[in-house]
Amino acid sequence: MECSQIQDSLSAFIDCELAPDEAALIESHLEHCGVCRQQRESFEAQHERLRTLFVERRRAADLVADRVNQAIRERPELGPSNAGCRCCFRQQQAS
């Protein structure tokens, strides 16, 4: 396989999106080709940055969820068990 073909497939290779035989071809190429190995390392660094960004976002979303859950615990009337359907809730308030 040519280096250019390998490098085209590297991103999919890192994401484990390749068929096992394709992945094996790339792996054996990487064993003896320093250029492609370097390319893979820079791809992996890039992926790692993306993963880190994603984890931080994920953590921020979890924090929001925690805050909402806590607010519901502190004010049970906001929680799903007492919310009922919206029209019943309005009727309750009117009476």
Footprint of Zn ion (CB under 5 A): 3, 33, 35-36
Minimum distance from residue 3 beta carbon to Zn ion (Å): 3
Cβ closer to Zn ion: 38 or 91?
38
Q: Residue 10: count other Cβ atoms within 10 Å of its Cβ.
A: 19
Minimum distance from residue 13 beta carbon to Zn ion (Å): 12
Cβ closer to Zn ion: 35 or 68?
35
Cβ closer to Zn ion: 33 or 72?
33
Minimum distance from residue 33 beta carbon to Zn ion (Å): 3
User: Which are the contacts of 63, defined by CB distance < 8 A and separation ≥ 6?
Assistant: none
Minimum distance from residue 6 beta carbon to Zn ion (Å): 5
Cβ closer to Zn ion: 3 or 61?
3
| Cα separation, 17 vs 1, whole angstroms | 18
Q: Crossing angle, helix 34-74 and helix 3-14, to 10 degrees?
A: 20
DSSP assignment of 43-56 equals HHHHHHHHHHHHHH
